[in-house]
Amino acid sequence: MKKLSFWIFALVGLSLAACDSPSTTTIKNGTWRATLLRDGHTLPFLLDIETNSDGQTYSAYALNGTERFKMDTAYVENDSLHIPVELYDSELIGKIGEDKLTGVWRESRPGQPVGELPFEAVYGQAYRFFEQGIIASGVSVGGKWAVKFVTENPADSYEAVGIFEQKGSELTGTFLTPTGDYRYLAGNVKGDSMYLSCFDGTHVFLFTAALQSDGTLSGEAFYGLTSYETWTARPDANAKLPDANTLTFIKPGYDSFDFKFPNADGNMVSLQDAAFKNKVVVVQIMGSWCPNCMDETRFLAPWYKKNRDRGVEIVGLAFERSGKLEDSAPKLRKMAQRYDVYYPMLLAGTSDKDSAAASLPMLNHVMSFPTTIVLDKKHNVRNIHTGFSGPGTGKYYDEFVADFNRLVDKLVQE
């Protein structure tokens, strides 16, 4: 009897102790400072995590400047929080500790992993690179810069335009390139150096640079798991890229643009279909894996719902990581659901630019995802715009929207 009483009291004591212990599966709502480690360099970004109404899952947002990038529904499995980004085949996985997540960011491709970087997040920290109050900088890097990125193969080096806004030690901005912008970058200026980063599930960017005595910048750029470039920049208020409306064109010998590809249900869709007859047609060359394409889709999807009754159609030609419809159809459906897309999206090929060019032999090349082709009511090509300057570019995005609307208005009235 005494032994039985002893075990009863022991079990009760253990139960009370368990009640006093914090649950390792509880995720606190609010801001977490997240970091990825790449080649000894820390790439920071902020996470905002909120418990969903079911009390079991979470909404997670990556914060980059003014962007709140919503990732897919997060959940706890065993001792870890999983934050998937399904369109981009990536996932943050963090073992849950006391106010801390420790794990990996993992990237994959259909049927196989690609690689991972160490991931950590600390609850309640809201700074990016450096804690507020300890940053001192007498330099300014705000404004427009003529930039050159140098790759391992010098032949692949390219020009860009840097646009930065500095408020004290806080820095935001992006790089404009001939194939699209680097979206929302955020960071700090400290001493004579600048630091910018971005995480949106597939763009994993870290840019650092030091201001030189001659007023130029010299720095490094880290992309994703392994890519690396150096870059230099000089202040230039008149810096600009080649005209995006001249880089892609119909090759000599071809009279028109045409297509015939399957939709996610396997049904063939052609420009010759009745749905496009006597209508202005906007062709979006894109991929569900491409953040710049998703920025353009955020513009085109609501625009289409507002304007489709005017005699305008949009069709997306998707070049996916897999050319198999069984692999890519779920991606297209996921994209359509996420961005409320009502226009058709067709599987046109794989995301390799040479493969994309082979699928559209009338074009001189497919230089960029996205590329936007505008056809008049007779389906003659009236404009081809290479790349996309998204909302993170400010006035450049506004200019694109205004030019797009002017052109479509003109063609509708013809």
- Span 391-402, pLDDT tens digits: 999 999 999 999
Q: What residues does 286 pair with on adjacent strands?
A: 318
Q: What pLDDT is attached to residue 134?
A: 59
In this prediction, residue 135 carries a pLDDT of 61
Closest CA to 345 of 281, 413, 283, 254: 283
What's the CATH fold of domain 260-413?
Glutaredoxin (3.40.30)
Token couple for 244: 């995006």
Q: Could you tell me the two tokens for 212?
A: 């030189």
DSSP 408: H
Range(s) of the chain covered by CATH 2.40.128.120: 26-123, 143-235
Neighbours of 11 (CB within 10 A): 10
Residue 355 has what pLDDT? 87
pLDDT digits (tens, 9 = 90+) for 139-180: 899 999 999 999 988 888 999 999 999 998 899 999 999 999
Q: Domain 143-235 classified CATH 1.10.10.10? A: no
The span from the first CA to the last CA of the chain, in angstroms, equals 98
Longest dimension (CA), the chain: 99
Q: Which two tokens stand for residue 25?
A: 């599966």
**pLDDT score, position 147:** 98
CATH code, residues 26-123 = 2.40.128.120
| Mean residue pLDDT across the chain | 92
pTM, full prediction: 0.91
pLDDT given at position 7: 40
CA 126 to chain centre: 22
Q: What local confidence, expressed as pLDDT, does residue 51 receive?
A: 97
The sign one gets for the Cα dihedral 376, 379, 382, 383 is positive
Which residue, 189, 78, 195, is CA-closest to 135? 189
DSSP codes of every residue in 279-335: SEEEEEEE-TT-HHHHHHHHHHHHHHHHHGGGTEEEEEEEEES---HHHHHHHHHHH
Peptide bond just before 252 cis, omega within 30 deg? no
CB 276 within 8 A of CB 244: no
Looking at residue 109, its pLDDT comes to: 85
Which parts of the chain sit beneath pLDDT 50? 1-24
CATH 3.40.30.10 intervals, the chain: 260-413
For 363, counting Cβ atoms within 10 Å of its Cβ (0-12 exposed, 13-18 middle, 19+ buried), the class is: buried
